[in-house]
Amino acid sequence: MRIAKGAVEARALIRRAPLEAPQLPPAMREAIRRVFGAELDAAGVVQRVLRDVREEGDTALRRYNEALDGVPSSVPLQVSKDEIQRAYSRVHKDVVSALQRAAERITAYHKVQLEYSLRSFDCEGIGQVVRPIERVGIYVPGTSVVYPSTVLMTAIPARVAGVGELIMTTPAAEDGRVSPLKLVAADIANVTAVYRGGGAQAIAAMAYGTETVPRVHKICGPGGIFPTLAKKSVYGEVGIDGVFGPSETVVIADEQARPELVAADLIAGAEHDQLATALLLTPSEDLAKAVDREVAGRLASLERRDVTAASLEARGGIALVESVEEAFALANEFAPEHLCLHLRDAESHLSSVRNAGCVFVGETAVESIGDYTAGPSHVMPTAGSAVFASPLGVHDFLKVTSVVRLRQEDMDEVAPPAAAIARAEGLAGHAQAIDARMKTGR
């Protein structure tokens, strides 16, 4: 791994490249020419698909499912209840039990979060009522690699918040089958309905509605470049949870840290994909060298070693800093998705964290547990958005309606300045409506 020394080199190491649409590989460009009859970039593909699904509904959704994912147009868009139940027989019972246990932990966490989340209140005639969003759509990516954990991490917070209707779209394989792992997870998470649809066409179907897929009020979940660009494009017509980039892991460690555990966390962070980031910030040169050796030794036996090695080569590294305090300053600048604290008395350093999606406090709080069974959702801000954004939670599925209820004595107190402001703005009708409610105006 690259080892940077000093603040200047460390800042260069943690500096992100702009989050842009990647150059599409030749095979994908050829597929685009075949399907669309034109040379289109990723944004052009998304705009064409959004337009067609909006105008043609199911017809366009089926056409793009077949053209882009190989799913025969004769396969029903909605996954039947029988197919979902049959999926249990195709998933090992131990995995079903693991998903159920994960669901219990995720549910318990978000029930507590709900207690501390938005609340209705009434304070002397003004207040708010909090209601769940009525219909939410979740997008779950992947066919060759599937993510039942993402189903749980997205659907369960919505259900805990009280969302009434929860639909899911996900790509199907060329034989039309949806991964049984996803279907079992959807059933455990109490998803209302599952539809076959990948990429931009799935986002379009949920945003605009088709004859089969209901229009939703908010779309949540991660995805590749096409669903991500589609989510950005439909925002405003529907809500979205955020725009998610590649996974990020930053480890802050001191001389007491165990090199094998630090290396394991860096490798876990890097193996997501070639665009993932895994960084170590430490004041200990001995630890840095030991971790570098550990990473090199572990890569050889890793199943996804090519992906992991490419990620570490392009976006990984170790920054030698002057102190733990400087490490936190750099981490807060980077605002990572995952921040792991391998520090003596790690709990005492929690107050130093300003920007991170999730903090893993101490060496036993392994980041990988956060992906599955810790409890908080693993859908978290990336690309530096942790400076203003939060992990997916029950708050993402709640909305506030303000309430104004004024007694006559309250009205007589607040009406005169309101009328004065209205007249200053040139809105005489506003002022007259206010005057009509005042005792002096009757």
What is d(CA 238, CA 208) in angstroms, rounded to the nearest whole number? 9
From residue 353, alpha-carbon distances to 282, 339, 349, 358 in Å are: 16, 9, 7, 10
Residue type, 373: T
Cα dihedral across residues 378, 104, 367, 264: positive or negative: negative
234-265 pLDDT, tens digit each:
999 999 999 988 899 999 999 999 999 999 99
Strand order in the sheet with 239-240: 78-79, 193-196, 165-170, 135-139, 218-220, 239-240
Looking at the fold, whether 262 and 237 belong to one and the same domain comes out as: no
Which of 244, 313, 323, 317 shows the shortest CA–CA distance to 282?
Answer: 323
Question: Containing domain of residue 348, as a range?
Answer: 3-19+245-374
404-434 pLDDT, tens digit each:
998 898 899 999 999 999 999 999 999 999 9
Establish if 112 belongs to a structural domain. yes
Which of 79, 84, 109 shows the shortest CA–CA distance to 96?
Answer: 84
**Distance from the Cα of residue 105 to its chain's centroid:** 19
Question: What are the residues whose beta carbons fall under 8 Å from the beta carbon of 23, sequence distance 6 or more?
Answer: none
**Distance from the Cα of residue 374 to its chain's centroid:** 16
Establish if 384 belongs to a structural domain. no
The first and second tokens of residue 141, run together, are 């990516």
- Asked if 105 and 113 count as a contact pair (C-beta separation under 8 A), the reply is no
Q: Region 70-82: what's the mean pLDDT?
A: 95
What is d(CA 124, CA 142) in angstroms, rounded to the nearest whole number? 51
Strand order in the sheet with 358-361: 3-5, 316-320, 277-282, 248-253, 338-342, 358-361
Establish if 281 belongs to a structural domain. yes
What pLDDT score was predicted for residue 442? Answer: 46
370-388 pLDDT, tens digit each:
999 999 999 999 999 999 9
Q: Which residues are catalytic?
A: 337-338
Establish if 388 belongs to a structural domain. no
Establish if 386 belongs to a structural domain. no
Looking at the fold, whether 219 and 281 belong to one and the same domain comes out as: no
Q: Region 329-334: what's the mean pLDDT?
A: 96
- Asked if 77 and 123 count as a contact pair (C-beta separation under 8 A), the reply is no
What pLDDT score was predicted for residue 146? Answer: 87
What is d(CA 196, CA 202) in angstroms, rounded to the nearest whole number? 8
What is d(CA 219, CA 99) in angstroms, rounded to the nearest whole number? 23
DSSP-assigned letter for residue 355: S
Establish if 385 belongs to a structural domain. no
Residue 283, domain CATH: 3.40.50.1980
Mean pLDDT taken over the chain: 93
Establish if 420 belongs to a structural domain. yes
Looking at the fold, whether 289 and 194 belong to one and the same domain comes out as: no
* Residues paired with 404 in a beta bridge: 126
177-228 pLDDT, tens digit each:
999 999 999 999 999 999 999 999 999 999 999 999 999 999 999 988 899 9
Number of domains in the chain: 3
Angle between helices 225-234 and 199-208 (to 10 degrees): 20
302-330 pLDDT, tens digit each:
989 999 999 999 899 999 999 999 999 99
Looking at the fold, whether 361 and 217 belong to one and the same domain comes out as: no
DSSP reduced 3-state for 331:
helix
Looking at the fold, whether 194 and 250 belong to one and the same domain comes out as: no
Question: What are the residues whose beta carbons fall under 8 Å from the beta carbon of 319, sequence distance 6 or more?
Answer: 3, 4, 9, 10, 13, 14, 279, 280, 281, 282, 327, 330
Looking at the fold, whether 125 and 239 belong to one and the same domain comes out as: yes
Looking at the fold, whether 134 and 221 belong to one and the same domain comes out as: yes
Establish if 397 belongs to a structural domain. yes
Place of tokens 């604290």: 341
Task: Give the confidence band of 19 by pLDDT, cuts at 50, 70, 90.
Answer: low
Task: Give the confidence band of 17 by pLDDT, cuts at 50, 70, 90.
Answer: low
Looking at the fold, whether 238 and 276 belong to one and the same domain comes out as: no
As to burial, measured by CB atoms within 10 angstroms (0-12 exposed, 13-18 middle, 19+ buried), residue 38 is exposed
Which of 379, 339, 149 shows the shortest CA–CA distance to 241?
Answer: 379
The region of weakest confidence among 67-76, 205-214, 432-441 is 432-441
What pLDDT score was predicted for residue 1? Answer: 87
- N-to-C CA span, the chain: 79
Looking at the fold, whether 234 and 306 belong to one and the same domain comes out as: no
Predicted TM-score of the model (pTM): 0.91
Q: Region 81-101: what's the mean pLDDT?
A: 97
From residue 401, alpha-carbon distances to 111, 119, 164, 341 in Å are: 22, 11, 18, 40
| Residue 441 pLDDT greater than 60, yes or no | no
φ, ψ dihedrals at 181, nearest 5°: -60, -45
- Asked if 214 and 147 count as a contact pair (C-beta separation under 8 A), the reply is no
- Asked if 136 and 218 count as a contact pair (C-beta separation under 8 A), the reply is yes
Count of C-beta atoms within a 10 Å radius of residue 370: 23
What pLDDT score was predicted for residue 245? Answer: 86
Looking at the fold, whether 95 and 217 belong to one and the same domain comes out as: yes
What is d(CA 345, CA 57) in angstroms, rounded to the nearest whole number? 57
Q: How many percent of the chain have pLDDT more than 70?
A: 98
The first and second tokens of residue 6, run together, are 């000093």
Looking at the fold, whether 263 and 228 belong to one and the same domain comes out as: no
Looking at the fold, whether 38 and 123 belong to one and the same domain comes out as: yes
Task: Give the confidence band of 438 by pLDDT, cuts at 50, 70, 90.
Answer: confident
The region of weakest confidence among 98-107, 117-126, 217-226, 334-343 is 117-126
Place of tokens 């660009």: 229
What is d(CA 412, CA 408) in angstroms, rounded to the nearest whole number? 6
